[in-house]
Amino acid sequence: MITLPKGTAISAAARQTLATDKNKVGDTFAASLTEPIQVNGKTVIPKGAQVNCRIVKVNKHELKVTLASVVIHGKSYPLDTNSIAGPKSHPKTDSKNVDKAKANKDVTLLAAKSKLTFKLAKPVTIPVKG
């Protein structure tokens, strides 16, 4: 068993696009680690491991997410991380609508493959093979 200390950075890429006009607080989505997590030269969580994320805040101009768990060797381990915000709002246009003023609406998007970097708020103990 290895304990990841508080403050450990965990970088992941979202597997789907999220938007403030479609998603709500409590929605979950999967992401993949973009870098392995290592402690003392040992890989604790491999690159590509699935992490499960949760949306914790949604409003017209903000989308905040947090990591909820990581899946290692088929088993899920809960994580407690900080929450991070997606990018600022972008106009979303319906090209079929002639009235551009009505078609534009502010929507914050978190695109698939967007890199998100979280920090552990509490230590977590993970089993290590080999």
Q: What is the pLDDT of residues 57-114, one digit of tens each?
A: 998 888 899 999 999 888 999 999 998 886 554 444 444 433 443 344 667 788 888 8
- What pLDDT is stored for residue 105 in this prediction? 60
In a domain, 129, yes or no: no
- The answer to whether residue 42 sits within a structural domain is yes
Neighbouring residues of 38: CB distance < 8 A, sequence distance ≥ 6: 44
Question: Residue 31: which of 83, 81, 66, 80 has the closest Cα?
Answer: 66
Tell me, yes or no, whether 81 lies in a domain. yes
The answer to whether residue 96 is domain-embedded is: no
**51 within a domain of the structure (yes/no):** yes
Phi and psi at residue 103, in whole multiples of 5°? -75, -30
Domain count along the chain? 1
**What is the value of pTM for the model shown?**
0.78
pLDDT above 70 for 128: yes
Distance CA 49, CA 126 (A): 13
Q: Which residue has the tokens 């993970």?
A: 126
Domain that holds residue 23: 10-88+107-118
Judge whether 14 lies within some domain. Answer: yes
In a domain, 127, yes or no: no
Residue 4 covered by a domain: no
